Structure 1
């Protein structure tokens, strides 16, 4: 199951459609759409039916809200005064309803810095630990995935240039192979941004490992 969520951040409709097509060409299962606040309006504008729409909808008109209701199987309208963001509430819903899915979040990066940081830091919440490697934050210039301790592989996104490892916690014994700047069991006692690495020429995959910590992998381009 591939769950595509659109939030209220910067959004490129053409990029989204191509991304969904590429994912579904390479993955098995059904695609389902979930609109988060303004993201629900974006699905309406694309004439796509959502399985679920959620938000306080303070960024859409009442007319737009009625169109959202007409284009979603289920809608929850939240009180604007709440303890979690619309994106967090939406992610909680999809994890409950599709516990074994891949979660693709668009419109989650590139706008307000506090919103982007919130969408990055929410990975520390206990309810997301089981699925953190299945959460993907997607932006036309930045793809973010998360790694938990152990061995890992990263496949190159063809349109991206740079490969960065954002150590969101202290990390022990980080090894990176098949990259321009390799590491061999390096330990960092505090969070660190290891940016602007690259895949080796003619390589479409790299591998590595680490013993403890949490890492965000970002593939990006200028």
Structure 2
């Protein structure tokens, strides 16, 4: 069963909730701070809600208190972000479905960079963790072999560790064999699939796989 977390980032970056309901049928939904309000407004009652809720009005907070199934409220001054608290609580939950995070990419760059770093928590519990918005879908990969399919026009590879070694791509506009990528390089950006699927493998390091569009 998938877990879908909606954080409190700018609403303009969120995909259509109509589409998300179809895509994530049967999923467990969780709201993070104002993301809880976004869910309720879309007619989705989250099973969990996390945060200090400093980004909602008193009226919105009262609504959240009445309708969210399980509310975990934290003080404003704390070591973790609200999203990290949600991941700590949910990432090791029973099940082997994917964890999708929306509402965590737009607005403040410090939040965005921290949220990308939080993707390590998916590797720790051996679950796919996907950071997504209207025009981006980001995964953090360990060494191995992967089939790549996407509805977006571009596929990019960005090293998460200082070096990623042994990258092989087939089925792409720019295929490579046993290539290395190092931090500080942009060589892996803006590739494209030539068919409905491509194949990626690498043997060392951690790699961000991004499916992206121009908006």
TM-score by length of structure 2 reads 0.91
Q: Deviations over 1:163-209 (max 9, x none)?
A: 10111111111111110011100123435441110001xx1111121
SS at match of 2:177: strand
Determine the C-alpha separation between the residues in 2 that align with 1:155 and 1:31. Answer: 22
Which structure 2 residue ranges, 5 or more long, are not aligned? none
2:144 matches 1:150: yes
What residue number does 2:93 align with? Answer: 97
Structure 2 equivalent of residue 140 of structure 1 = 134
The equivalences for 1:51-66 within 5 A come to: 51-66=47-62
Number of matched pairs:
211
Per the alignment, do residues 113 and 197 of structure 1 end up closer, same or farther by CA in structure 2, a change over 3 Å counting?
same
Query: CA–CA distance in 2 between the matches of 1:106 and 1:128?
Result: 15
Q: Which residue number corresponds to residue 67 of structure 1?
A: 63
| In structure 2, C-alpha distance between the alignment counterparts of 1:220 and 1:189, rounded to whole Å | 21
Find the counterpart in structure 1 of residue 176 from structure 2: 183
Shift of 1:95: 1.5
Matched, 1:113 2:114: no
Q: Please list the CA deviations of residues 105-154 of structure 1 after superposition, one character each: whole Å capped at 9, or x if unmatched.
A: 11011221111111101223xx4323465111111011111211011111
2:131 and 2:34 map into 1 onto residues whose CA distance is 17
- Could you tell me whether the CA contact under 8 Å between 1:175 and 1:185 is conserved in 2? yes
Q: How does 1:1-222 map to 2 (within 5 A)?
A: 1-12=1-12, 15-24=16-25, 30-124=26-120, 127-131=121-125, 134-157=128-151, 160-169=152-161, 170-190=163-183, 192-193=185-186, 194-200=188-194, 203-222=195-214
Q: Distance in 2 between matches of 1:2 and 1:191?
A: 34
Could you tell me how far apart the structure 2 residues matched to 1:119 and 1:14 are? 18
**Matched position secondary structure for 1:173:** strand
User: By percentage of residues, which structure has more helix?
Assistant: 1
The DSSP-based 3-state class of the residue aligned with 1:195 is coil
Q: Displacement of 1:16 after TM fit?
A: 2.9
Please, what TM-score do these two structures have when normalized by structure 1? 0.88
Partner SS, residue 109 of structure 1: coil
- Secondary structure of the residue that 1:111 maps to in structure 2? coil
Helix, strand or coil for the counterpart of 1:196?
coil
